[in-house]
């Protein structure tokens, strides 16, 4: 096999094509941001409603059970739906990118970091949202910088801002602020990415 020495311009062109292919594939996967954006937002708001109902009935011993069940239903529903989305996308995919492979690995590691953070926060008795939003900000901003999509970059940055903001509110309103963070970080950029022109 003959080796061809590439000029800097040709190398740059290959890199740009790889990023463009990744962006195209990622645009098709915007539904994952939308899916988890909706599920996590609904989980936050329903947790807030559960908190208010339990508080009004003074049944605080049931709080942990109800809120844990609430989050598990939404998160496991998301992973089941994600499985079918990924299967559909993999069948239809015509272009494969190493950047896309890297990005998927980034998000699987991020998912693991979420679960470890929840465990640590429960053991230490502290609220997880500031740390969860920080982790989401790192992964979202990294993905956004890979595909050079400005609304998603802004969504990632908004997670950092909301992460700090959550430290200034009481636990009662922490859920509403977290829901707002997910809307700004996942839902709005997800819909913009889905509707973006090629």
pLDDT at 95: 55
- The pLDDT score that the predictor gives to residue 195 is 85
For residue 14, pLDDT beyond 90: no
What average pLDDT does the segment 58-73 reach? 77
Average pLDDT, the chain: 84
- pLDDT value for 193: 87
pLDDT given for residue 2 in this prediction = 46
pLDDT score recorded for residue 51: 84
pLDDT at 29 over 90: no
Burial label, 137 (beta-carbon count in 10 A; 0-12, 13-18, 19+) = buried
Q: Is the pLDDT of residue 27 over 70?
A: no
Provide mean pLDDT across the span 8-31.
70
pTM above 0.75, yes or no: yes
Q: What confidence tier does 19 reach under pLDDT thresholds 50, 70, 90?
A: low
* Per-residue CA distances from 114 to 46, 75, 109, 117 (Å): 20, 12, 9, 5
In terms of DSSP H, where are the helices of the chain? 8-28, 30-57, 63-92, 98-124, 129-147, 150-165, 171-182, 188-195
């Amino acid at each position: 096999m003959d080796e061809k020495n590439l000029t800097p311009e040709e190398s740059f062109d290959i890199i740009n094509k790889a990023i463009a292919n990744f962006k195209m594939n990622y645009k098709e996967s915007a539904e994952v941001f939308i899916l988890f954006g909706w599920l996590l937002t609904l989980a936050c708001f329903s947790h807030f409603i559960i908190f208010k109902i339990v508080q009004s009935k003074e049944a605080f011993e049931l709080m942990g059970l109800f809120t844990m069940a609430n989050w598990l239903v939404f998160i496991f529903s998301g992973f089941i739906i994600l499985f079918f989305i990924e299967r559909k996308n993999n069948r239809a995919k015509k272009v494969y990118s190493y950047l896309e492979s890297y990005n998927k690995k980034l998000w699987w590691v991020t998912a693991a970091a979420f679960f470890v953070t929840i465990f640590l926060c429960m053991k230490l008795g502290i609220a997880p949202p500031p740390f969860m939003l920080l982790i989401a900000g790192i992964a979202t901003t990294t993905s956004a910088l890979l595909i050079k999509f400005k609304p998603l970059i802004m969504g990632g940055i908004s997670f950092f801002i909301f992460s700090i903001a959550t430290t200034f509110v009481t636990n009662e309103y922490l859920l509403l602020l977290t829901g707002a963070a997910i809307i700004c970080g996942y839902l709005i950029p997800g819909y913009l990415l889905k509707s973006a022109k090629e």
